[in-house]
Copies of this chain bind each other. A is one copy, B any other.
Amino acid sequence: MERTQAAERSRIADPGLAPEGAQRIEWVARHSPVLNRLARARLGDGALSGKRIALVVHLEAKTAYLATLLAETGAEVVVAGSNPGSTQDSVAAALVGRGIEVHGVHDSEPDAFEADLMAVADSRPELIIDDGAELTTRLVRHRSDLVPGLRGVTEQTTTGVHRLRALAAAGRLSFPAIAANDALCKHLFDNRYGTGQSTLTAILRLTNRSAAGKEFCIVGYGWVGKGLARYAAGLGGRVTVVEVDPIPALEAHMDGHRVARLADALPDADVVITATGGVEAVGREHWALLRDDVLLANAGHHDREIDVETLDAVADRVEDVRPGVRRYSLAGGVRCYLLAEGRLVNIAGADGHPVEIMDLSFAVQALAVHHLASMRLEPGLHKLPAELDSEIARTKLAALSIRLDELTPSQRAFFEQWQA
């Protein structure tokens, strides 16, 4: 698309911020060896050329670099953020400067955010790279006319895969979707190390507090929760894990964490981080149990894991005391601090995952969308083919100059024989 045309169609905050955004994207470009090697090589075969791709992921520099790579293949890419709190206006401006249509403004009101997503829908996407299935579910619900035109969706998050599975269970998944989150090169790295590092450092950055000696309460011990717990402990914190599933709960116990019910954990918690992928992980019945000075942060997809509405309702006073830090004065003199308004704290309160992590995750997305464009998959939920997953890891290792051994023929034969 031409730059002027992109600018006309887009809704962004301020085109003048483009240079700063461009600098950020350039940094990502320099540190994305997997995208630069593998994805780039594969994307350029023409399969994506002329395809209309909607990209609805947190709109910051890493996402923008993916958009740029896709646009370079000849695809028509339209971009929106998946959460108004995480949209970086300078990055949006830089994308428009590169001729890509963007709909997203930092901290948009809900109505404007909805309008942005529907504007993306209006581009009649054939392929969607989605986060939390935010665009996909809206299409199914509000624009069923566009569903037949969907060649495929690829989904970034645990939450989004849940939703696609629910959609399938309801008989509404009439198009192919790839659970990119379930690719090993995505969830093993992004959900654990990516969220772990970026969430913990975001909390420390917003508050200038010490992690050492703090009691962290991690709600949910899936891949994200495991990562949070590891980094909290690595930074000198003690960890209590809250779970509903006995198997991860037992893992948490054996990993050296305390395991408790939330109501038992809260009175000691200095920092509470939600990572359930659900809603109201901390809510109405918990506010009276908070310890004075506790920090509340969310690492899950939804803004609804911390039930801010009821917190607002019970607070005597609500003040913004630092950027990204809102203080709630509760009964009994207890004050709690909500970070980034309960949005994903690593991305609404900082710069999101490390570059290297998104390089892997977006390599998954890039190969997934290319796979959807190249093959005619059946409707339903698919995995990224294992050989693509492996190739991503292999490319990353090569970029790190790490060499692997190979099975010898006799070792390989051994694994294939039952008599051995």
Binding site for B on A (CB under 8 A): 23-24, 26-27, 31, 61, 133, 137, 140-141, 162-164, 166-167, 169-170, 172, 184-185, 188-189, 193-194, 197, 201, 204-205, 208-213, 231, 233-238, 242-247, 249-251, 253-264, 276-281, 293, 321-322, 350-352, 354-357, 389-390, 393-394, 396-397, 400, 402-408, 410-411, 414-420
Contacts and interface: CB of A to CB of B under 8 A. Distances in A.
Contacts of A24: 322
A243 to B, nearest CB: 6
A312 to B, nearest CB: 19
B405 A250 contact: no
Contacts of A411: 276, 278-281
Contacts of A209: 31, 354-356
A407 B188 CA distance: 25
A253 B315 CA distance: 31
B405 A27 contact: no
29 contacts: A24-B322, A137-B419, A140-B418, A166-B416, A169-B416, A188-B251, A189-B250, A197-B212, A205-B351, A208-B351, A209-B355, A210-B356, A210-B357, A211-B354, A212-B254, A212-B255, A231-B236, A234-B234, A236-B256, A238-B258, A247-B389, A249-B397, A250-B396, A261-B404, A263-B405, A278-B407, A278-B411, A279-B410, A279-B414
A149 B237 CA distance: 46
B163 A420 contact: yes
A61 B390 CA distance: 42
B27 A208 contact: yes
Contacts of A193: 210, 212, 236, 254
Given A213-B256, A250-B397, A253-B397, 17 more contacts: A61-B208, A188-B250, A197-B212, A209-B356, A213-B356, A231-B236, A249-B397, A249-B402, A249-B404, A250-B393, A259-B402, A261-B403, A261-B404, A261-B405, A278-B407, A279-B410, A279-B420
Contacts of A201: 201, 204-205
Count identical subunits in the complex: 4
A172 to B, nearest CB: 7
A162 B259 CA distance: 34
A235 B234 contact: yes
A418 B355 contact: no
A242 B411 CA distance: 15
Contacts of A236: 193, 197, 231, 234, 254-256
B414 A278 contact: yes
A264 to B, nearest CB: 7
A390 B406 CA distance: 37
Contact of A418 (B133, B293, B356): B133
A295 B352 CA distance: 20
A234 B253 CA distance: 14
A277 B211 CA distance: 25
Given A205-B350, A247-B390, A418-B164, A212 B402 contact: no
Contacts of A133: 418
